[in-house]
Amino acid sequence: MTRSTVFAPFDIIEGDRKRGIVLLGDHARRDLPDDYGSLGLPSAEFDRHIAYDIGVEAVMRELAALLGVPAVLANFSRLLIDPNRGEDDPTLIRQLYDGTVVPGNYPITADERERRLDGFYRPYHDAVGAMIASVAQASAQTPFIFSVHSFTPAMQGIQRPWHVGILWDLDGRVARPLIDMLAQDKNLVVGDNEPYDGALRGDTMYKHAIVNGFAHALIEIRQDLISDQKGALAWAERLAPIVDAIDRRPDIHVVKMFGSRTGPL
């Protein structure tokens, strides 16, 4: 975990916006601004998945470089506020996470909740929206949005069999070919809406892709596979030609409204 007296809530990886692709990393970092200290937690907790998605930043930087496309990363730990939740989601600011009580989040006042929304969550989403708009303008086409996450090999004592999972709601333009292409490697166990369900109202994909009819998918890579630079590079090299191939499909850079399993848009 790093600190700075001037805390930027997001980071931009520059790339060719004419490509029409935007990479997103909601949980790529584990940092906190100075005035939040460590939220009352020992430093070891910030090495765990509760603080960030292990390995994602390295994968994103390598993937952005290989594809030559821009990316937006949230700079703050999900323990401060989770950018991949709707503003009304009860897990937006967690007080208990995978067995760990977060003292700095309990109790939390309405004013403090609004402070975190205004200071971190909303600026990140504003940056995501601005990048998507910029890519759409530069490429003169509907953008393709690809979000990168990672998951633990086990949760609550239960082993997870997947090496990678693809999360999606009703728009399968990216998800279906992505699952099929990954599954061509018979050594991979590929999850379809595993280990989580991609239908989450108000999350980043809902907010920026689903309601706008933009082609998108969220990939979850098992953390132990990308916990070092070698693994991160290997996965970026695996994904780059697949993302590039999907990008060339005729239905990707087109607005199509599919709705959501969570209810009316």
- Give residue-wise pLDDT tens across range 3-16: 555 799 999 999 99
Question: 155-211: per-residue pLDDT in tens?
Answer: 988 999 999 999 999 999 999 999 999 999 999 999 999 999 999 999 999 999 999
> Which residue's entry shows tokens 């999972």?
165
Residue 87 has pLDDT above 80, yes or no: yes
Q: Which helix (H) or strand (E) holds 25?
A: strand 21-25
Answer yes or no: is 201 within a domain.
yes
Cα–Cα distance, 197 to 104 (Å, whole number): 29
Answer yes or no: is 5 within a domain.
no
Q: Are 106 and 95 in contact (CB under 8 A)?
A: yes
Cα–Cα distance, 81 to 91 (Å, whole number): 9
Answer yes or no: is 116 within a domain.
yes
Answer yes or no: is 111 within a domain.
yes
CATH number, domain of 243, equals: 3.40.630.40
Cα–Cα distance, 124 to 31 (Å, whole number): 14
Answer yes or no: is 138 within a domain.
yes
Q: How far is CA 45 from CA 38, 123, 232, in A?
A: 9, 25, 22
Q: Which domain holds residue 76?
A: 10-247
Q: Which two tokens stand for residue 134?
A: 């910029």
Q: How far is CA 196 from CA 160, 193, 249, in A?
A: 11, 6, 26
Cα–Cα distance, 183 to 195 (Å, whole number): 16
Q: Say what the pLDDT of residue 1 is.
A: 58
Answer yes or no: is 257 within a domain.
no
Mean residue pLDDT across the chain: 96
Measured between its terminal Cα atoms, the distance across the chain in Å is 37
Name the domain count of the chain: 1
Answer yes or no: is 259 within a domain.
no
